[in-house]
């Protein structure tokens, strides 16, 4: 049994080596590190929002017309909106909703899209693969924002329905991504070796092909965070997402857009908020992509 523990020792040291190798690949591009720092910063904001936000009461039903539409000051770093609510606090809380929505959407679409893609790629039986891929094609043919708008307009406006709408538009991209990998791996020797030795299709799909998709899927998820947040903000910009008084980046910008350019702070800061979170995940996602990519040289 000594030999087993030796291999376990190697396992853990291999894990450490993996981490340092992955960090090396991630950090080649300094922008990825910027992305990572921003993402960490955003996560801190999310977790400690009640503590960090200076005026947490602004996020609920709160009206203070005395302090309405004040420009940025020491008391209200981002100013106040027309109801007197502190924009900084609302922006921080709005991050929570945006991120939460993005996470839920990805947790819905990724498994569904992946499973469909795996099956479509591996079972080249036209009934399975053709049906799945053609359905996916139909959904992909419509630009995601428009599709989400269409779904949302049929349902009652609200955060939950917005998530549903984005998921409907988003799942086929995962299917396509995984289909590409699955269908190309299907013809590789190692899959053939597994088939002729008697491995079940379930095993081949989920234990052998799926690990090969790990890199592209995780990269896509990291980048998708930015996209789903953007689409969510777009939906709420037109009133189809979170409803008042829930703070939401898109609706904050929408409300404030009527008052530009006089009350510029009401629109500008939420907009910058959107930009920052999307940028953070894009840079971070690029780094993740590098991390899973091939090593050069040697």
Using CB under 8 A, list all residues that contact another protein: 1, 3-4, 6-7, 10-11, 14, 21, 24-25, 188-190, 192-199, 203, 207-208, 211-212, 214, 295-298
Residue with smaller CB distance to another protein, 68 or 115: 115
- Beta-carbon contacts of 17 under 8 Å, excluding residues fewer than 6 positions away, are none
Find the shortest distance in angstroms from Cβ 212 to another protein.
4
Residue with smaller CB distance to another protein, 14 or 134: 14
Residue with smaller CB distance to another protein, 16 or 65: 16
Find the shortest distance in angstroms from Cβ 223 to another protein.
21
Residue with smaller CB distance to another protein, 5 or 261: 5
Closest CA to 285 of 29, 79, 43: 29
The backbone torsions φ and ψ at residue 200, rounded to the nearest 5 degrees and listed phi first, read: -75, 160
Find the shortest distance in angstroms from Cβ 132 to another protein.
22
Residue with smaller CB distance to another protein, 134 or 207: 207
Residue with smaller CB distance to another protein, 137 or 195: 195
Residue with smaller CB distance to another protein, 30 or 244: 30
Find the shortest distance in angstroms from Cβ 122 to another protein.
14
Q: DSSP string spanning the chain?
A: -HHHHHHHHHHHHHHHHHHHHHHHHHTTSHHHHHHHHHHHHHHHHHHTHHHH-S-GGGGSS---GGGTTPPP-SSSTT-B-TT--BHHHHHHHHHHHHHHHHHHHHHHHHHHHHHHHHHHHH---HHHHHHHHHHHHHHHHS-HHHHHHHHHHHSPPSHHHHHHHHHHHHHHHHHHHHHHHHHHHTTSHHHHHHHHHT--HHHIIIIIIHHHHHHHHHHHHHHHHHHHHHHHHHHHHTT-SSPTTS--HHHHHHHHHTTTTTTHHHHHHHHHHHHHHHHHHHHHHHHHHHHHSPPP--
For residue 86, list its beta bridge partners.
80
Find the shortest distance in angstroms from Cβ 170 to another protein.
25
């Amino acid at each position: 049994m000594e030999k087993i523990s030796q291999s376990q020792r190697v396992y853990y040291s291999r894990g450490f080596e993996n981490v340092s190798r992955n960090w090396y690949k991630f950090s080649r591009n300094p922008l990825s590190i910027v992305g990572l720092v921003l993402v960490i910063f955003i996560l801190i904001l999310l977790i400690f929002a009640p503590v960090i936000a200076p005026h947490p009461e602004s996020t609920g039903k709160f009206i203070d017309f005395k302090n309405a539409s004040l420009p940025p000051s020491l008391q209200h770093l981002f100013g106040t909106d027309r109801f007197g609510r502190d924009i900084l606090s609302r922006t921080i809380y709005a991050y929570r909703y945006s991120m939460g929505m993005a996470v839920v959407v990805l947790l819905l679409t990724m498994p569904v899209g992946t499973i469909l893609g795996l099956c479509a790629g591996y079972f080249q039986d036209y009934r399975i693969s053709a049906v799945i891929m053609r359905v996916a094609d139909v959904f992909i043919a419509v630009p995601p924002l428009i599709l989400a708008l269409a779904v949302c307009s049929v349902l009652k406006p609200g955060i939950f329905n917005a998530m549903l709408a984005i998921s409907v538009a988003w799942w086929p991209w995962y299917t396509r991504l995984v289909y590409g990998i699955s269908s190309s791996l299907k013809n590789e020797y190692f899959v053939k070796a597994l088939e002729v030795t008697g491995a079940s299709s379930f095993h081949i799909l989920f234990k052998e092909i799926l690990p090969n998709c790990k890199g592209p899927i995780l990269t896509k998820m990291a980048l998708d965070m930015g996209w789903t947040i953007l689409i969510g903000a777009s939906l709420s910009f037109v009133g189809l997402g979170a409803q008042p008084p829930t703070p939401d980046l898109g609706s904050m910008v929408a409300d404030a857009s009527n008052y530009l350019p006089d009350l510029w702070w009401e629109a500008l800061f939420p907009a910058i908020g959107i930009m920052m979170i999307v940028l953070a995940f894009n840079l971070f996602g690029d780094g993740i992509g590098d991390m899973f990519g091939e090593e050069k040289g040697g």
